[in-house]
Amino acid sequence: EPEVTQTPSHQVTQMGQEVILRCVPISNHLYFYWYRQILGQKVEFLVSFYNNEISEKSEIFDDQFSVERPDGSNFTLKIRSTKLEDSAMYFCASSPRTGPGYEQYFGPGTRLTVT
C-alpha cells in the first residue's frame, strides 16, 4: 500500500538556523498538507498546498515558513530561522481530492529539536 514518507525522522538544529523538512506524498495525490504537534499538545494545521500554490495557511505559518514542491514528487517545509518554540513533530499529509469524505494520509513525522 502506498505511503507518505518523510525525511529525516529526527532533525536537531541550533536556534537561528534554517531547516528543510522533506516529504514524498502518495504519487497520484493532488493536495498536500503540513501539520505539527508540539509535545503534549494537539496536532495543528500549518498549511495546505494545491496546484503549486498555498491554498490555506494558519496563523502559525508566518514569514519564517515556506513550502515548495520542487520536482513533482517532493514536498518540502522550510523554516528560515528556527526558534526554540519550533521544536515539534512535523507531519506531512496528502489526499487525492478534497471533500468531506476524503481522508488525509499522513507520514510518520519528523521530530525537530531546536537547541
**Binding residues vs another protein (CB under 8 A):** 3-4, 6, 9, 33, 35, 41-45, 48, 55-56, 58, 91, 93, 98-109
Q: What is the DSSP string of 2-51?
A: ---EEE-SEEEE-TT--EEEEEE--TT--EEEEEEE-TTS-EEEEEEEET
Q: Is 60 exposed, middle or buried (0-12, 13-18, 19+ CB in 10 A)?
A: middle
Residue closer to another protein by CB (options 14, 52) is 52
Cell numbers describing residue 72: 513533482
Instruction: Tell the smallest beta-carbon distance from residue 55 to another protein (Å).
Output: 7
Residue 88 or 93 with smaller CB distance to another protein? 93
Q: How far is the CB of 45 from another protein (least distance, A)?
A: 4
User: Judged by CB, which is closer to another protein: 1, or 14?
Assistant: 1
Nearest to 86 by CA among 14, 23, 33, 24: 14
Q: How far is the CB of 42 from another protein (least distance, A)?
A: 5
Q: Which three cell numbers stand for residue 101?
A: 469524505
Closest separation between CB of residue 99 and another protein, Å?
Answer: 5
Contact 92, 106 (CB under 8 A): yes
